Amino acid sequence: MDTTATRIARTIATEIAASPAQVSAAVSLLDEGATVPFVARYRKEATGGLDDTQLRTLSDRLVYLRDMEKRRAAILESIRGQDKLTDELARAIAAADTKATLEDIYLPYKPKRRTKAMIARENGLEPLLRAIEGDRSADPQALAAGYIGEAVETSKAALDGARDILAEELSENAELLGRLRAFMQREAQITARVAPGKEEAGAKFSDYFDHREAWAKIPAHRALAILRAAKEEVVTVEIAPDPETGRAQAVGIVCSAIGIKGEGAGDTWLREAADWTWRVKLSLTMYVDLLTDLRRRAHEEAIAVFARNLRDLLLAAPAGARPTLGLDPGIRTGVKAAVVDATGKLLETATLYPFKPKMDLQGAQAKIAEMVRRHGVEIIAIGNGTASRETERMVADTLKLMEGRAPQQVVVSEAGASVYSASELAAQEFPDLDVSLRGAVSIARRLQDPLAELVKVPPESIGVGQYQHDVDQRRLAQALEGVVEDAVNGVGVDLNMASAPLLAHVAGLGPSVAQSIVAHRDANGAFASRKALLKVSGIGPKAFEQCAGFLRIRGGAEPLDASSVHPEAYDVARRIVGACGRDIREIMGRPEALRGLEAHDFVDDRFGLPTVRDILAELEKPGRDPRPEFRTAKFTDGVEDIKDLKPGMRLEGTVTNVAAFGAFVDVGVHQDGLVHVSQLADRFVKDPHEVVKAGDVVQVRVTEVDIPRNRIGLSMRKESAGGAPAKRDDKGRADKERTSGGRPEKGKGRAPRGKALDKGQQTGGQGALGDALMAAMKKK
């Protein structure tokens, strides 16, 4: 392994708590075309058991560090070409551990446009600077007099030129820049102030009209709120050390780089030049550096929040293969209805008008009852948009009138449903179906299997993000695609049932190969075995190796095809079965049949202990679904609008979104309530994800109802005997976010045919604090 690869492996190993050997093995596999899910699941021996989270981080950092190595090489080549590369400089470049440090070192050698310092040097003023530095007792004014000429008309001009040269040298001093950056990262404060005349137009950012806090400690969501307010020119932002003591400290660091110790005339001039350089050049450089770092840090945290929420949503419990009626509520445009069978195939659609202006309640109820009876509907999915509670009550009344066992009714998030309905994919799937009816199909299917349906919607349109429209969109898309890929492969995919969009996320496949699989399946019928995949155009040995273990074939000739055991390890599985002396079908799913077997007895030169243990676990519970058991929240009867809420009410709801400052919960009133992080538990909670995740069913207590501003405050903490919240032993404070609110951005993401906005069409989750935060309290 070369030196560069070794350095990269050591760096990543430290960051992901692994050994360099583990990292090197994983890098080799990824470079050979292996996918993260495949390496995590089927190459544990090679990587020492690195999981998908570690591998994702490894993959991201590998790209960054390789880019940095390319930049390092380019810098070395540039300086070498200028014949200025010394051994000391080469060592400094080799030791640089960030791109910022590399660029600091390169600054003096970087080709630049004509500067004031260059002009001063051309005018022969560099010796003046050296004379001042060399004799601190000499009067700089007297020294400058000797440099007056045609190009330099006065002593002041000469001294200004000398100062320009010094300022450029200081601005290109890598050691000084590093010290200043470290000082600023420790001491800087970020300050936001309202721009004159913007008080009314920027009212939603009012929490930041006069705001200051430590740069190092500002949470990502507050940083993003300030950055958004600055982008909209509502506030001005400053990043600087404490105005009383910080500037003196910063100038002191600059002075120490020059070497100012005495009180001579030269020292005084140099000290003034250092102060000027800080004010005019270095403070601006530090501002840009810290602002860039703050934006990057905040973006990464926001993307991580989105990724966690998306993963929880994708891995939500499926209702399963049951005939389902999907209802997409609406008032004026009617309630769209669609029945799908247990496999998700569309059977029937209808539009019902139980509400104003038509008020055909009887006809709507009759149609629902007819569809339920004719198709054997077992569960009814009701979208949580406009008229959701009215539709839910109408369905409940209908089911009371029916004989026999009534279907279960469940309120389903319709986030992204209208995005899917209007997509090219939906048009291909249902070319003759009205856009609005496609939404009802999607609602029904996402209850049956959230993962299979949500992969058809762009992840950023699902609306579980925090400032999702403000962050780096390329990085966001990359992170969310990784989440989807890990979720799909973690659950596994039925090869003979899966849609092309779902297959496209299987390791080793992609959109074009997924389409080829579906086309082959349509033309030749169901796949009889995993090996039959090799007949599909575009699937060679490498693609088959990557995807086979994640694809399932139920009821085929090879029982192991229904499991997560990879075909390459079938021989090991058969040796295990042989040791039991029974047919494989009698063993799979019967843990007692495998008792007494020792995993190490089946280790060979190809498959180690981790793989054997995985095979044994899979034989015990073949094809097991890692998702939780299906459960839904039961909304309180009579609580259908924010006006029905009263402080002290106890309700059941579903967590729709988790942000850095708390969780948003749907309690059935078309407006999510906020459980601030300080109200999530009777203990200090640093990260809300420690307590809740998207899709959780939780018990909450109403603490605040602000009808004019559509704000709902909720708590998950216990109450003391007197009814007040139990005391906490932490020092957590309710940040400004707690009572903030907002609304979707005007004019953006208008839904078709008058529908309420999908969560994915709204502004990026939690907007700026003040009114903007309530954008995350998705209006239904």
Q: What is the CATH number of the domain that holds 352?
A: 3.30.420.140
The reply to whether 380 falls in a domain is yes
Quick check: is 173 in a domain?
A: no
Residue 705, domain member (yes or no): yes
Contact call for residues 521 and 463 (beta carbons, < 8 A): no
Distances (CA, A) of 207 to 204, 295, 378, 555, 738: 8, 19, 49, 61, 12
| Stated pTM of the model | 0.77
Q: Which domain holds residue 723?
A: 642-776
CA distance 166 to 383: 67
Question: In degrees, to the nearest 5, what angle opens at C-alpha 485 toward C-alphas 481 and 491?
Answer: 145
Residue 274 inside a domain? The answer is no
Query: Domain ends where: 25, 49, 79?
Result: 79
Is 25 a domain residue?
yes
Last residue of a domain, one of 79, 99, 114: 79
In a domain? residue 24: yes
Residue 282 DSSP code: I
Residue 748, domain member (yes or no): yes
Cβ neighbors of 486 (< 8 A, separation 6 or more) are 36, 37, 52, 56, 311
User: Would you state the pLDDT for residue 734?
Assistant: 39
Q: With CA atoms as reference, report the closest residue to 206 among 777, 665, 780, 770.
A: 770
pLDDT of res. 634: 81
Phi, psi dihedral angles at 415 (to 5 degrees): -55, 125
CA distance 422 to 456: 12
Question: 3-class DSSP state for residue 639?
Answer: coil
Q: Which residues contact 617 (CB under 8 A, 6 or more apart)?
A: none
Whether the CB-CB separation of 613 and 599 falls below 8 Å is answered with yes
Question: What is the block-wise mean pLDDT of the chain (780 residues), using blocks of 10 residues?
Answer: 81 94 95 94 94 92 93 94 92 90 90 90 95 94 93 94 96 94 95 93 90 94 92 94 90 95 93 96 95 92 87 89 94 94 93 93 94 95 87 90 86 84 89 92 93 87 72 85 92 92 94 95 94 94 96 91 94 89 77 82 91 90 82 81 91 86 86 92 89 88 89 86 43 38 31 33 32 34
Q: Is 550 helix (H, G, I), strand (E, B) or coil?
A: helix
CATH number for the domain including 749? 2.40.50.140
Domain boundary among 26, 60, 79: 79
Number of domains comprising the chain: 3
Q: Strand 324-328 relative to strand 210-214: parallel, antiparallel, unpaired?
A: unpaired
Are 435 and 405 a contacting pair, CB within 8 Å? no
pLDDT value at residue 775: 37
CATH code: domain of residue 25: 1.10.10.650
The answer to whether position 342 is within a domain reads: yes
